[in-house]
Amino acid sequence: MTPPPPTTTYTSIPLPTGDVISRSIHNLTSAISRHRPWSELVFSGDFSLPESFSSLLLRSKTNFNYFFVNYTIVVATCAAFALITANPVALIVVGVIIVLWLLFHFFREDPLILWSFQVGDRTVVLFLVLASVWAVWFTSSAVNLAVGVGVGLLLCIIHSVLRNSDELFLEEDDAVNGGLIGPNLREGTNLLYPFFFT
């Protein structure tokens, strides 16, 4: 019997915590830089009611994929405004927690090393969840935060429903990820696909 071939093990080179944070900040700023021009969000394009429920769903999906970064900034701004009007300390504390989530979970690509020990992803998430619960309890900001996020989401939903998305275009990778075109259409092409399909 022929023995099975040896298994190759790939390991990543641990980076100092400072370098991990720097790369997370780079990823975060790169994501924010992908926002659409605000003039395109507000002043360009036609605003009208969708003709049917199916067109409403397609229009909302198109706009949410196209303006996703802008919508995220709008929701974050509404939440920040709700917190600062209630308690400026709450804005600082909750803002720090959100930054920790962004840097150590959502935009972190490398393992986190603390005092020569690698911290697992579950441990990081557990710490962030506990810190979030403590921040909301300490600042008593649950209601204000929920109102701010709710208002921001409502504004984004109204915009996504009313803005005509016929003329929107998106790079093919984003269109595939958004489920608006099939992966078979992307093979052998480098074109921009329309972000709306009839």
> Is residue 49 assigned to a domain?
no
Is residue 145 one of the residues assigned to a domain? yes
Enter the pTM of the model: 0.73
Checking DSSP bridges between strand 117-119 and strand 112-114, what pairing results, if any?
A: antiparallel
Q: What is the count of structural domains for the chain?
A: 1
Each residue's pLDDT expressed in tens, for the chain with a length of 198 residues: 555 544 433 345 667 778 888 999 999 999 999 889 988 888 877 888 888 899 899 999 999 999 999 999 999 999 999 998 878 899 999 999 999 999 999 998 888 888 878 888 899 999 999 999 999 999 888 999 999 999 999 999 999 999 988 777 655 445 444 444 444 333 333 333 333 333
Q: Classify residue 13: in a domain, yes or no.
A: no
Tokens read off for 27: 């990823």
Question: Does residue 180 fall inside a structural domain?
Answer: no
> Does residue 31 lie within any of the structural domains?
no
Contact 74, 155 (CB under 8 A): yes
Is residue 1 one of the residues assigned to a domain? no
In a domain, 186, yes or no: no
Asked whether residue 102 is domain-assigned, the answer is yes
Range of the domain at 166: 59-174
